[in-house]
Amino acid sequence: AVFLGDASPTAESHAAFVNGIAHESGANYTMVVNAAVRSYHRGKGIPTGSPDAIRMPQPMPKFLDDAQLEAIMQAAKTPLEKAIVTVLFESGVRARELLGVRWADVDLKEGFMRVTRKGGRAQDVPIYDGSVSALRSLARSAGKNGLVFPMTYNRLYYLLNALGKKA
C-alpha cells in the first residue's frame, strides 16, 4: 500500500479531505503532506508504506480562546504587564524576540517594530492599535540598553505564568 493512496492526489481531493476533518487534524494532515513534499525535494522520494515513514511534526500548540485572553488581560495590572500581553498576542512574536526589541526598533507612528528572528534575521513586524496604545503608556525610559522590555526570559516566563494563574 502506498501512503498517499493509489490515486494521484489533486488540489480538489486535498481540500475536500482537509475540509471534512477537525481543524487540528487538518493542520496535522497538512504538516505531514508538507513533510512528504520536503522529503521529495531533498531527493529522498515520497515515503511509502506506513505513515510512520514520515517524521511526524511536533504537536499543535494550544491557543487561548477569547475568554482566556480577556481574563489574562484583566489580570495584567501594570502598564508593563499589559504591554507584554498585548504585544505578544497581537504581533505573534516569540518571547525572546520581544525581549530583544529596543525603543529604536519601534515606530509607533507607522505601526511596526523590528525584531530579530531565529537565525539573526531582522524583520519588521506590524503592531496594531492595542499594541501601539500599550507601548505609548509605557514610559519611554532608557531601560538596560534601551530595551522596551528590560527583563530576562525567566522573568517574563514567570510573569506570564503568574498572570495565567490569576486569570
Residue-wise pLDDT for 50-81, tens only, equals 555 556 566 766 777 888 888 999 999 999 99
pLDDT-derived band at 167 (thresholds 50, 70, 90) equals confident
- Residue 69, pLDDT score: 86
- Residue 106, pLDDT score: 94
Query: What distances in angstroms separate CA 114 from CA 103, 106, 130, 143, one per listed residue?
Result: 10, 7, 17, 17
- Residue 1, pLDDT score: 33
Which stretches within 119-152 are classed as H helix? 129-137
- In this prediction the pTM is 0.62
Q: Which three cell numbers stand for residue 141?
A: 525610559
Q: Which three cell numbers stand for residue 40?
A: 521529495
pLDDT digits (tens, 9 = 90+) for 2-58: 344 455 555 565 555 555 554 555 566 666 666 666 666 666 665 555 555 556 566
Q: What is the mean pLDDT of the chain?
A: 78
- Residue 118, pLDDT score: 84
CA distance linking residue 69 with residue 90, whole number of Å: 11
What is the spatial order of strands in the sheet that 112-116 belongs to? 106-107, 112-116, 122-126
Q: Which residues contact 127 (CB under 8 A, 6 or more apart)?
A: 87, 90, 91, 106, 108, 111, 112, 113, 135
